[in-house]
Structure 1
């Protein structure tokens, strides 16, 4: 018997018991008013039973299956936190830092709301109140090396990640060295990228993160780290995906991305990094699946950051809510580290 049937049956039994004649010898006498009162009470029981049955039918399916009732598991803020497999914490965040070769420069970047390009004299004042991490450009003789050394000296508690690539410093804008016919010279590109990575590591970077996709660059960097006696440095290759690039992975190439992840792990990667993040949550999930015992980092790139700001400015959603929700979505996909321009705000929001 279902719960709704049981409620209805008990209510009718209760009504029937009141219709029984009085016990012999009882002083009570049945009158028309008594009968009217009895009928009224019986009707009330029937009505109440039907109400109970209706309520029960709403709460419990006819088959008795209550597996669809989920709200109780997340109706309270604390209960909601218990349902989350990962909680965003400060230690998961990395803040990208843009370094200029003009010592006193602090210039707003037009395409990135509230983000600046800073010279070496502006780095320390900017970082002092924050426990943030920096990433840099790739010229070993330029401001990047000086900034790494400065950060190691002034903020020894920071974990410094150096983005290693060539595209910002080549005339053609590609992440490597080209032949005369415009094709990529993979071997020369690998040699150059690995040299830059070693320069960053020797300057004090705890982690070198090559964001090119030249074949064999992870193995080359790993071998040079060993040769230089700094094999303890973390090697965390990016897995960049982009439309129209000859060297970055195609957006629809999920199988190719999985092969690249397997290759990088096989060549000695310590962390797998995916960028952009929001558009490639499936790749983040694949990275976690393939590298089950490895950290997975996701880079919420400038375009994602700018889109969230634009949506909030247009009144589509609240900035804080969307920034947190996008970060939690990245974590849910499998990331354990997030590189985000929202890091300063996220640190404050997580504190409160």
Structure 2
């Protein structure tokens, strides 16, 4: 039993900074961060995302400077998302298979600039479809699981050939991890990782992201037939178990802050790295509170990211990555 006061004074270990550091149960460093980036067509383009203050879409030629910044800050990995022009969007999302598409150009630019920087690439069809869904759509509006998986394998291989280090399927189609793993192995990409969006919820927090990649205006209906119901937690365990069995090297929970209970459930159940995505709606919500003067940006950013680590995350995808890395290395 714990001795009672005054034999025990829990404040003793909190009095001095050195003692608080020594007794910290969790730590946060730049090595825990993945920096999501939006890439767009053109040259010399820095295009602000209206719903995400401080976040820009960058043209491929601007990525080298960003890669150098990430490495200088100690951020180990960046994640790429394309803003696809309307004329390239089709019912079948065929631009996803173009070896010279925007994402492939961006992968090569990042690797040319900083070969040691990890590059994670999202795999789903919503940046490329004219209906805004992550998969192929039947005439009656149904999302076709197995036909979509075939295209996702081609998309993943397209990214791997361009030099991607991590394939991150976010589509939530059943069986896609096994198919992508088989495809990667079949072409000799034995060291390319799969970080599966294993528990991705049909959330209200994705709105600004859809603005950033230009898919929001195209979306017909919703994504509830393939993304998870926010009411469910045990189902997340089944999703994660399936992705691990199919060959995922790590798994992701998305969104982040509203689903920290899911992070903890997954971390306690499985011996595999768990990541979370502090998504666009979380970022926009915090920025709105900061702009209103009710939150201190620096303190709030580090506190939320430490909360992810405390819940069990190995790392966090966050638009605050460069700011957090600067704060942590001061």
In the superposition, the TM-score normalised over structure 2's length comes to: 0.83
Secondary structure at 1:95's aligned position in 2?
A: strand
Deviation at 1:286, TM superposition (A): 1.5
1:271 maps to 2:230: no
Deviation at 1:68, TM superposition (A): 6.8
Counterpart mapping for 1:126-205 below 5 A: 126-131=66-71, 132=75, 133-137=77-81, 139-141=96-98, 142-205=101-164
Matched position secondary structure for 1:230: coil
Q: Which has the larger radius of gyration?
A: 1
Counterpart Cα distance in 2 of 1:66 and 1:169: 65
CA offsets 1:90-144 (integer angstroms, 9 cap, x no match): 1111100101122332100001111110111121233333325332237342111
Q: Which has the higher strand share?
A: 2
Gapped regions of structure 1 (runs ≥ 5): 1-62
Q: Is the 8 A contact 1:162 1:207 kept in 2?
A: yes
Deviation at 1:69, TM superposition (A): 3.3
State the alpha-carbon separation in 2 of the partners of residues 227 and 103 from structure 1: 36
Contact persistence 1:106–1:117 (CA under 8 A): yes
**After superposition, where does 1:100-119 map in structure 2 within 5 Å?**
100-119=40-59
CA contact (8 A) 2:67 2:110 kept: no
Which of 204, 208, 220 pairs up with 2:179? 220
The structure, 1 or 2, with the larger RCO (C-alpha pairs under 8 Å, 6+ apart) is: 2
- Change beyond 3 A, Cα 1:232–1:67: farther
Whole-angstrom distance in 2 between the partners of 1:272 and 1:130: 23
Separation (CA, whole Å) in 2 of partners of 1:65 and 1:136: 53
Q: Which of 22, 38, 47 is equivalent to 1:98?
A: 38
Question: What secondary structure does 1:315 align onto?
Answer: coil
Number of the residue aligned with 1:52? none
d(CA) in 1 for partners of 2:6, 2:171:
52
**Aligned equivalent of 1:311:** 289
**Hey, what's the Cα distance between the residues in 2 that align with 1:252 and 1:223?**
33
Task: For residues 68-102 of structure 1, give each alpha carbon's deviation from its aligned partner in whole angstroms, at most 9, with x where no partner exists.
Answer: 73211222222222333221011111100101122
SS in 2 for 1:252: coil
* 2:32 pairs with 1:72: no
Residues 199-254 of structure 1: CA deviation (Å, up to 9, x unaligned): 11111111100111100000000110110111211111113112453211111110
2:265 is the counterpart of 1:286: yes
| 2:240 maps to which of 257, 261, 268 | 261
How much has 1:319 moved relative to structure 2?
0.5
Q: Take 1:148 and 1:168, find their aligned partners in 2: how far apart are those partners?
A: 16
What's the secondary structure of 2:80's corresponding residue? coil
Return 5+ residue gaps in structure 2 as ranges: 83-95, 204-221
In 2, are the aligned partners of 1:272 and 1:287 still within 8 Å (CA)?
A: no
Give SS of 2:167's match.
Answer: strand
Are the aligned partners of 1:262 and 1:290 in contact in 2 as well (CA < 8 Å)? no
Q: Over the residues paired in the alignment, what is the CA RMSD in angstroms?
A: 1.9
SS at match of 2:70: coil
Are residues 223 and 340 of structure 1, via their aligned partners in 2, closer, same or farther at CA, if it must alter by over 3 Å? same
Aligned residue pair count:
290
SS of aligned partner of 2:69: coil
3-state DSSP of counterpart to 2:316: strand
